Amino acid sequence: MKLVKYNQFEPTYPSTFSSLLDRFFNDSLAQSVRQFTPAVDVAEDEQQYEIHVSVPGMKKSDFNLDLTDGRLTISGERKLEEKTEKKNYHSIETHYGTFSRSFYVPDDVKVERIEAVYEDGLLKVVLPKEERKVSKAKIEVK
């Protein structure tokens, strides 16, 4: 079984065209919470699954990892730092705000050994697999 993405869109993404129109006409841009979706790489080898979340400029304390009912949710908030100096920005292309990404965890993951490390702008979540016992038996033909 492979690690599967749970949500591909933002949590507030409208599920129908009607709700999209409602959101367009009822929500103002100033009231909406800033959200973004960080880039995620998912890899697998014989021993483990790995999830790499690209979120530079954050602190370890800004992340929240939750495993509930076989679903791993990685969330956090990247805050725009307000400096006391008056700067006149011409362009801001860096994403700020909250994010949340969820993944279904396969049954062969050792839940108690899941580890997360944040280093150089990359959150690396390692999900070790249980060792598979290979049983061999010689069957005699009668």
Give the distance, in angstroms, between the CA of residue 12 and the centroid of all CA atoms in the same chain.
Answer: 15
- The size of the chain, in residues, is 142
Sequence letter at residue 21: L
Residue 62's contacts (CB-CB under 8 Å, 6 or more residues apart) are 76, 77, 78, 79
Q: For the chain, what is the mean pLDDT?
A: 81
Residue 51: inside a domain: yes
Q: Looking at the DSSP assignment, which residues form a beta bridge with residue 124?
A: 52, 117
Q: Per the structure block, which two tokens stand in for 2?
A: 């492979």
Domain total of the chain: 1
- pLDDT, tens digit, for every residue of 38-97? 999 999 999 999 999 999 989 999 999 999 999 999 999 988 776 657 777 777 777 888
Q: Which residue has the tokens 């908030």?
A: 77
Helix, strand, coil percent values for the chain (each to nearest 5): 10, 35, 50
CATH number assigned to the domain comprising residue 108: 2.60.40.790
Residue 63: inside a domain: yes
Task: Note down the domain range covering 76.
Answer: 34-80+92-128
Residue 23: inside a domain: no
Q: Looking at the DSSP assignment, which residues form a beta bridge with residue 116?
A: 125
Residue 73: what pLDDT? Answer: 94
110 pLDDT higher than 60: yes
Q: Looking at the DSSP assignment, which residues form a beta bridge with residue 127?
A: 49
Residue 138: inside a domain: no
Interatomic CA distance for residues 23 and 11, integer angstroms:
14
Q: How many percent of the chain have pLDDT more than 90?
A: 46
25 pLDDT higher than 90: no
Residue 105: inside a domain: yes
103 pLDDT higher than 50: yes
